[in-house]
């Protein structure tokens, strides 16, 4: 995982020199979703201040997604990486950091903002001297595409352009905010793409998304990422969170990972279609002696109960903020789930 504030060689930005009014202006644009009407970025300083603060919060989401992919025994295919809609480039850098320069060999950055592409490319070259980095406006066949925080800004032309990029890809790793609307938009993309791609995560199956069933209309597919240890005691980050009006303790996100092909294995259900497994949505709710879990399985998304006396270790993990993400077990007629295996939460 990258440090909370990775400073590349020669970087002068620090908490002491942070441009707080500039961050306030960027925050106002984010809340207004003004990026849909044009670029957020008017200068390199916009990108540098954003990369030092807001982008790190996005990076924590990417860390959580990449750890889950490792848990499932999946990694992107060898070949070039494309960071589409790159912004300051945090998504591409996080993925290269996690899998290594040798996995990709080349990072392409693409954005409607020339300033953003230049900034993202420069930061990537500084952090990974052995990586080939290129700016691009074109669709390239093959390789892995990473997409981050774009779904709420796509107009018809943007959706068409993104679909062309995805259609040319071997794999897609896509992270979005964990809001209802953004999650539902990502589900629509999943449904449009699952005929051509295997769904790697967060789903444990390749059927229609259970969130689309009428009784699940109030729900959405979201999860929570934890910030780096000790961040809540960091006075600078606490100040930033208060000024930005955001909770830094847990960061909600939605995500989707697709691949042209997935080879099933027998290693603890770590890849493939996850027969019999389910994915926890959101966070379990704890009560005296039991928990209620929104459980996404092949059959449906439904709330199930888990008894504390049957699974005390799971309850201890949930109370510490790192309960399991993947569950395996049967649900009885009364809606109680008896687990025989779990993954995640370590």
Q: pLDDT tens across 256-305, in order?
A: 999 997 654 433 333 455 788 999 999 999 999 999 999 999 999 999 99
What contacts 189, CB < 8 A, 6 or more positions away?
Answer: 151, 174, 256
pLDDT at res. 238: 95
Name the H helices within 146-201: 156-167, 180-193
Q: Give the pTM.
A: 0.92
Quickly count: other Cβ atoms within 10 Å of residue 189's Cβ: 21
Quickly count: other Cβ atoms within 10 Å of residue 26's Cβ: 22
Q: Token match 């200068």: residue? A: 43
Residue 40 has φ and ψ, to the nearest 5°, of -70, -25
Q: Please give the share of the chain, as a percent, with pLDDT higher than 90.
A: 79
pLDDT at res. 268: 38
pLDDT at res. 31: 81
pLDDT at res. 187: 98
Query: What is the pLDDT averaged over residues 160-178?
Result: 96
The better pLDDT of the pair 265, 164 is held by 164
Q: Token match 């059959």: residue? A: 299
DSSP assignment letter at 35: G
Has domain 20-259 been given CATH number 3.90.480.20? Answer: no
Reading the block at residue 324, the tokens are: 């399991």
Please answer whether residues 120 and 151 qualify as being in contact, where contact means their C-beta atoms are separated by less than 8 angstroms. no
What contacts 335, CB < 8 A, 6 or more positions away?
Answer: 302, 303, 304, 305
Report the alpha-carbon distance of residue 327 to residue 294 in Å, rounded.
11
């Amino acid at each position: 995982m990258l440090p909370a504030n990775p400073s590349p060689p020669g970087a002068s930005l620090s908490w002491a020199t942070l441009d707080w009014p500039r961050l306030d202006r960027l925050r106002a644009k984010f809340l207004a979703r003004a990026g849909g009407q044009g670029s957020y970025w008017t200068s390199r300083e916009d990108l540098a201040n954003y990369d030092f603060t807001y982008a790190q919060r996005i990076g924590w989401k990417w860390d959580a997604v990449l750890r889950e992919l490792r848990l499932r025994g999946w990694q992107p295919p060898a070949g070039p990486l494309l960071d589409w809609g790159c912004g300051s480039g945090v998504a591409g850098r996080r993925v290269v950091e996690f899998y290594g320069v040798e996995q990709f060999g080349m990072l392409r950055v693409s954005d409607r903002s020339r300033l953003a592409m230049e900034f993202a490319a420069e930061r990537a070259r500084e952090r990974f001297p052995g990586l080939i980095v290129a700016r691009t406006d074109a669709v390239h066949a093959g390789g892995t595409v990473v997409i981050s925080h774009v779904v709420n800004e796509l107009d018809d032309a943007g959706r068409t352009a993104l679909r062309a990029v995805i259609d040319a890809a071997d794999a897609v790793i896509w992270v979005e905010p964990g809001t209802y609307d953004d999650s539902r938009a990502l589900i629509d993309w999943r449904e449009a793409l699952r005929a051509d791609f295997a769904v790697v995560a967060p789903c444990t199956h390749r059927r229609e998304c259970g969130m689309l069933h009428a009784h699940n209309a109030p729900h959405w597919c979201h999860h929570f990422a934890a910030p780096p240890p000790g961040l809540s005691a960091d006075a600078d980050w606490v100040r930033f969170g208060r000024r930005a009006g955001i909770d830094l303790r847990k960061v909600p996100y939605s995500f989707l990972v697709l691949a042209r092909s997935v080879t099933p294995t027998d290693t603890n259900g770590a890849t493939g279609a996850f027969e019999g497994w389910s994915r926890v949505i959101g966070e379990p709710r704890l009560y005296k002696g039991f928990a209620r879990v929104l459980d996404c399985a092949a059959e449906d998304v439904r709330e199930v109960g888990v008894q504390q006396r049957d699974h005390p270790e799971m309850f201890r993990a949930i109370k510490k903020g790192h309960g399991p993400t993947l569950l395996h077990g049967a649900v009885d007629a009364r809606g109680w789930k008896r687990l025989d295996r779990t993954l995640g939460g370590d």
